[in-house]
Structure 1
Amino acid sequence: MIPFEYRRAVDVDGAVAAVAERPAVVFLAGGTNLVDRMKLGVAEPEALVDISRLPLDQVEELPGGGLRVGATVRNSDLAAHPAVRRDYPVLSRALLSGASGQLRTLATTGGNLLQRTRCAYFQDLGTPCNKRVPGTGCSAIGGHTRGHAVLGASEHCVAVHPSDMAVAMAALDAEVRVSGPGGSRTIPVVDLHRLPGDEPDRDTVLAPADLITAVDLPPLPRDARSLYRKVRDRASYAFALVSVAAVLEVADGAVRDVRIALGGVAHKPWRARKAEDVLRGGPATVDAFREAAAAELADAHPLPGNAFKVALARNTIVAALRDLTEETR
């Protein structure tokens, strides 16, 4: 491993200032993604600023309803939190479907949102990758693309975002609280990650010294139901080929409100706005679900090795909404 400095932050402002001092300094929390990339040589930071001991590890109820989840809350603790299990089952299920139990006890909320793609070409220093070294090319295009994007990709990158948790938070309209050199601000999770465009090396809208301090989950309507459905090559320890996070509110057989996000299909958690628009105010029927799913996937551009994802995504959306409809009866 290439030598690096290590600093332990004592407060948020100090952590932000330490990273702002030099461009090659990064935050360290659970380290479940960063340390792997350092071992592979994909990441070579000059210094790590450890934020794991900052007081950002609590889940708090907000005065107007909802929850504030600290950035260093461990994935295992968040999945098991009584309020999350009761009010946000989509989030609990998404967390439990990710990684292994050992990794979930280390991985943090902020780190999960900011994990980088697990594309094999990104992790292989012997292959060109625009995300790792801009301008060198995308080895996945024309290569092995079974797990790659069918929505929102570009000629520069076809990788997908690996997080399960981020997909659930996108469907929940969660907001990320950020502290940076310019002060504090709030960013909707749906706007946190970027599509690749011609800058695939930029995963998010954050600047290098921006630190996620918490994620706010708004309250759901009392009658809303939610779930997370993940399709993968094996039952555990695998990234999603396709996943669906859905929140559905049905009244008198009609869809009062719906929120759908997809994982495994794009460079970011993909909010299915077209499907939502088709469904909202219409009948809560399987035929309507099929129409909505078809509308969302109409603009998909699969690669030679992953055309199956289009039908898989359509079917998974329908299955998730059908299951939620049956729960409301």
Structure 2
Amino acid sequence: MTNRVYNFNAGPSTLPLEVLQQAQEELLNYQGTGMSVMEISHRAKEYEAINAEAEASLKELLNLGDDYRVLFLQGGASTQFTMIPMNFLTPEKTADYILTGAWSEKAQKEAVKFGQVHVAASTQEGNYVRIPEFNEIKLSEAPAYVHLTSNNTIFGTQWQEFPGFGDVPLIADMSSDILSHPFDASKFSLIYAGAQKNLGPSGVTVVIIRQSMIDQAPKSLPSMLRYDIHAKNNSLYNTPPTFSVYMVNLVLRWLKAQGGLTAIGQHNEAKAALIYDAIDQSSGFYTGHAEKNSRSRMNITFRLPSEELEKAFNAEATKQGMIGLKGHRSVGGMRASTYNAMPLAGCQALADFMKDFQRRNG
């Protein structure tokens, strides 16, 4: 596999090589069926087994019990921005949003279409260089729920610890760091994530939801926008993205084989440290966007002294097999996305390149 590159794209992003190889082996004939998973009916016992295993594995990794369900839906996190207020924002209550970047802004703007919305905290001033302190969060008088985005791909910030609000449901968009480190998932009433960054390929959205939230779904909503309908039908109310769910299941198997969230969390810390050390030891040649106590382990954002050097950096890195390093236009510079499947060797290669580039251009 000498032609494989180190893929630092923010998403769709790198997948474990072992998972890709297994999918390749099973592509034409899945478990003796004579068909690809893409050809098997979603009502067939072979696919239902994939679906059930994926739900069980997610709950096992997050240490969640029977009071939670895992749904495999479509439409990405962007559809969840709409489904959440449609299902849970009632006229007598207010939806509270904590703004830490572009995706939380988009979620909040969708919620405004369905009822009262309150910004409980925001770090927009200063271009989202940090996560708010707990004491900065000011809830409304009657919150229906509190929504946060756990990791911000564009700005390279991440919640290091999660707040709790008692009986007020906590909801999180974890699209870019789900299953990347251990945390208390029982704090959350609903977690959602597009798979294409840390769980699998694009096409499926994972929703982990407490049963008490499912029971709140209004019967007046269209069926495809009701969590209770999807839960009752085990994510099979309509034809699901079967191959994407199959790939997620393989990634979950791989993650368990690595040692679960504790082991992958330590691995991710070590990977990120290689790149952050190259930034911190560069005497200002590289400048991180995020404040140190808010730094993301998944998306590392930094600038060089000039845009000309940034263009040269990206071009040279690409030639050396490190792709997807150009930063988002909101921040500029570089962004290295180091999701679970990025090997340590990829981060070491980038750190070594950063030091060499500085020696030649500093």
Does the pair score TM above 0.5? no
Q: Which TM-score applies when normalising by structure 1?
A: 0.26
Q: Which has the higher contact order (CA 8 A, sep 6+)?
A: 2
Taking structure 2 as the reference length, what is the TM-score of the superposition?
0.24
